[in-house]
Amino acid sequence: MTTYIEIGSEFWDLKTKDLKYLLVGRTALDHIIKDIKATSKAKKAYLPTYCCHTMIQPFIDNNIDVLFYEVNIKNGAFNYDLDYNVNFDIVLIMQYFGIANAQVDKIAKNLKDHNKIVIEDTSHSVFLDKPYTCYSDYTFTSFRKWTGLACGAVACKNNDAFAIEKPLKTNKQYIDLRTRAASLKKQYIDSKAGKKDDFLNLFSEAENLIETDYRDYSLPEYYINQINNLDTEYIKTKRRLNAKTLYNALKDLLQIETLNFKDSDVPLFVPILVKDRLRDQLRAHLTKNNIYCPIHWPLSPLHKVTDTYIYDNILSLVCDQRYSPRDMIRIADVIKSFYK
C-alpha cells in the first residue's frame, strides 16, 4: 500500500527610496497608512472587493473610511472595475497569485493622473520579473506564505523616505508560537511524532493573537537575514514547474475553470474556480486524501461585496517548493476522482 505525505496547510529586486522590515504584511500596511496620515490629509481608501480582511482592518484601525471597487474574473484573468469619479484619496491594488496582470500598471498610471496615493500589495507578485508598477507610491510584501518563515514583511516608500520612525519592539509571543508550531509539524511529518492537533492549535493561537496585536512591530535580524538569503531562483523554478504540471493535468477537466498561466508567472498557489458550487465538497474530498488546500479568502464582516462568485467558488491548489511534479499529479488525480 502506497503511503502519501500531506500536501498543503501551514508552512527581490525592489527599487525603492526607503524600505523597512516589519513583522507581517498587515504590520507593513499599517506602517504605510500611518506614514500617509503623517504627510497628507487622506481620509478615504478604495480597496478591491477581492482581498483578505487583514488588508481592510489596518485602514479601519487608522480611522480611514473604506470603499470598494469590483474585482471579478473574465476570460481567465482578474479584472478590475474602478470608478474614478468616486471620492477617495488612497487606493490599494495588487496582482493575484503571482500571475502577471498588465491591467494593474495601466490602472496605477491612471490613478496617479488623478492624484491618488497608490499602495500596491506585492505579496503575490514579489517574484515576478516585474513585481510592481512604477506608479505606486508605496509597496509592501509578506513572505510567510512563500517561505514558511514565522514572520517577515517589508514596507517600501518608492519616491521618498518614510516620515515616521520604524518600530523598535517585536512580537516575541507570536514568533515563538509560530516557531514552536512549525517545529512540531516537522516532527510529525518526518517521524509521525506527536499529534496533529499539537501544532494546529499553536498555529491557531498565533493567528488569533495577531488578529488584534499586529501593529508597530519590527522584524528580528534573524528573519531579515533569512529573507535576504532566500534562494529565489529555486523558489521560482520549482513553483513554475509544479504549476505547469497542475495546469496540464487539469486543463481538460470541464468541471473547473483555471486562470491563464504564462511561463514567466510565479504562482503563489494555482487558483481554480469550481463549477456548480461544489468547491467545499471538493475541498473536503482533498482533505480526506491528506491534501490541504486553502481558500483565498473567506468573506468577513469587513467586506462589502455584491458579487460573491469568486469567494464562493475559488480554491487555491498548493504548488510550492516543498513538492514535486509527482505530488502535483497526485493532486490532479484526487480532483479527478471526485468527479468520478
The predicted-structure confidence for 52-98, as pLDDT tens digits, reads as follows: 999 999 999 999 999 999 999 999 999 999 999 999 999 999 999 99
How crowded is the C-beta side of 150, counted as CA atoms within 13 Å? 23
> What CA–CA distances, in Å, run from 19 to 162, 166, 170?
8, 10, 17
User: How many C-beta atoms surround the C-beta of residue 65 within 10 A?
Assistant: 14
Q: Which three cell numbers stand for residue 284?
A: 473536503
Average pLDDT of span 216-235: 96
What's the length of the chain? 340
pLDDT of residue 6: 63
Average pLDDT of span 174-193: 91
Contact (CB, 8 A) for 69 and 81: yes
Q: Is 19 exposed, middle or buried (0-12, 13-18, 19+ CB in 10 A)?
A: middle
Asked if the bond preceding 297 is cis, omega within 30° of 0, the reply is yes
pLDDT, tens digit (0-9, with 9 covering 90-100), for 121-179: 999 999 999 999 999 999 999 999 899 899 999 999 999 999 999 999 999 999 999 99
Average pLDDT of span 278-292: 98
pLDDT of residue 145: 87
| Whole-number Å distance between alpha carbons of 275 and 111 | 35
pLDDT of residue 9: 57
Question: To the nearest whole percent, how much of the chain has pLDDT over 70?
Answer: 95
12 pLDDT higher than 50: no
Q: Quote the mean pLDDT of the chain.
A: 94
